[in-house]
Amino acid sequence: MLVPAIFLTACSNSSTSEISEKLSLKNGVFEIGVLPGSFATDECGIDISRFEIEEVTCVAFPLSSKMEEGKNWDTEYLTALDANGWKWAGGEGNAYYLEKPQSNECSYSLFMMGWVQGSEEEVQNYFNTGERGSIENQTYIFGIDDNLKCGDERRAE
């Protein structure tokens, strides 16, 4: 169960080729720049209460950039997270877990999930058929566990 403390901060920058916004959770424990072509959003596209996460931060990007242009947002964001000290801890499909060691025995746990922005019917149709319909954006939802995982608790995930 993740119970994150989340803060969203934005910095303006006139260059579109540079990162112009940063997402930050738990006073900077998790921080990542919003990659060019994507944007921070409050519209995550899913009812977060289903996952027992009190607060999250989300980033979105045009679905067309993934489907028609072949942009691999998963790889780009996972690479950026790795560069910020977050290491793969598991996951599959559209949900990933990463950890950031704070000591030899303890680490923070990050949840990252991909979703699309649309009505429940549109989302179901998209996942069943691949037909986008009026769905325009995909989102990544980030949540961080409020507590460090240590010892056996860390290895259990």
How confident is the model over 45-71, as pLDDT tens digits? 887 777 666 668 899 999 888 777 778
- Segments of the chain with pLDDT less than 70: 1-20, 51-55, 154-157
Residue 86 lies in a domain: yes
Separation between Cα atoms, residue 148 and residue 29, nearest integer Å: 11
CA distance 103 to 100: 9
Looking at the structure of the chain, the number of domains it has is 1
The answer to whether 34 and 18 are in contact (CB under 8 A) is no
The span from the CA of 38 to the CA of 109, in Å, is 24
- Give a yes or no: residue 1 inside a domain: no
In whole angstroms, how far apart are CA 125 and each of 73, 130, 139?
22, 7, 17
Kindly give the residue spans of alpha helices, DSSP state H, lying in the chain.
Answer: 63-67, 73-83, 120-129, 151-155
pLDDT for position 99: 92
What local confidence, expressed as pLDDT, does residue 53 receive?
Answer: 66
Can you give the pLDDT at residue 154? Answer: 65
Bridge partners, 9 (sequence order): 22
The answer to whether position 41 is within a domain reads yes
Q: Residue 44 and residue 141: Cα distance in Å, rounded?
A: 7
pLDDT for res 24? 80
| pLDDT for residue 60 | 93
**What pLDDT, on the 0 to 100 scale, is given for residue 6?**
30
Amino acid 77: pLDDT: 92
Beta bridge partners of 101: 107
Say what the pLDDT of residue 87 is. Answer: 93
Distance CA 80, CA 77 (A): 5
Give the N- to C-terminal CA distance of the chain in Å, as an integer: 11
Task: Evaluate whether residue 14 is within a structural domain.
Answer: yes
Residue 150 lies inside a defined structural domain of this protein = yes
Domain ranges, residue 97: 6-155
